[in-house]
A = this chain, B = another copy of it.
Amino acid sequence: MNEQLKKIGAIRQFPKGSFLFRQGARGGNLFFIQSGLVKAYYETLDGKEFIKSFLTEGEFIASMQAIVAGNPNSFTVLTLEDSVAVEVPKEAVLNQFFNNPAFTDILNSMLLRLAAKKERREYELLCMSAEERYLLLCEREAKLLERLSQNDIARYLGITPVALSRIRKRVKVFGGESI
C-alpha cells in the first residue's frame, strides 16, 4: 500500500538536526520514515516549542493542511537522529488520489489512524494531569523514551523541563520501582 507511493518518491538522507520541513513554509510533501527519529512541533511567536509527536521507522508525516488546503505547513519536523525518509511530492500524492481508486482506501485508513491518535491525545491533554501523562508515556513508550532528551519529553507533555524534573523526583521517591 505505501509501496505505490514510495515508488514515486525519492529516498533522502537527513542528518541529525536537519529539517524535513518547516512551519510557515510552502510544502505539503509526504514523508515515510525509514529509519531514525524525528519530532513534529509547533513554534509560537514568542519562541516556545510544543511537540505534537515523535515519529520513527514505519510512520509517515505530512502537514494535512498543506496537502489538502494548500496552506503553509502548520508545524516543523526536525530529525533527532540521523534519519532516512522517502519524500513523496505533494503533486504525486494528489495525483494518486484522483487517479487511483484504491488510494482512497489507503487515505481512509491513514485518516482513521490519525483521527484516533488525535482523539487519544485530546483525551490525555483534557483529562489527565502532567504526572499522569508522564507515567502513561513511560508505560507505553519506554523504548522511545531512552532516545529522547528530558527537554523534548517535557515539551511533548506540555510542561517545562523544570516541571518534568520535579515530577520525576516525585514518582521516584514514592512509586519507587527499584527493580
Contact = CB atoms under 8 A, between A and B. Distances in A.
A114 B101 CA distance: 22
Interface stretch (A9-17, A81-89, A117-125): A117-125
A118 B122 contact: yes
A105 B107 CA distance: 10
A153 interface: no
A179 interface: no
A125 B127 CA distance: 11
Given A104-B105, A104-B108, A42 B127 contact: yes
A50 B128 CA distance: 10
B64 A127 contact: no
Copy total for this chain: 2
Sorting the interface of chain A by its residue count into under 10, 10 to 19, 20 to 34 or 35 or more gives 20 to 34
Contact of A64 (B68, B74, B115): B115
For chain A, what secondary structure do more than half of its interface residues adopt (helix, strand, loop), or is it mixed? helix
A126 interface: yes
B127 A126 contact: no
Nearest to A107: B108
A129 to B, nearest CB: 11
Contact of A108 (B44, B111, B122, B123): B111
A8 B155 CA distance: 47
Interface in A27-67: 42, 44, 48, 50, 52, 64-65
Given A52-B126, A104-B104, A111-B112, 14 more contacts: A42-B123, A44-B127, A50-B123, A50-B127, A64-B116, A64-B119, A65-B116, A101-B101, A104-B105, A107-B108, A108-B111, A111-B115, A118-B121, A122-B122
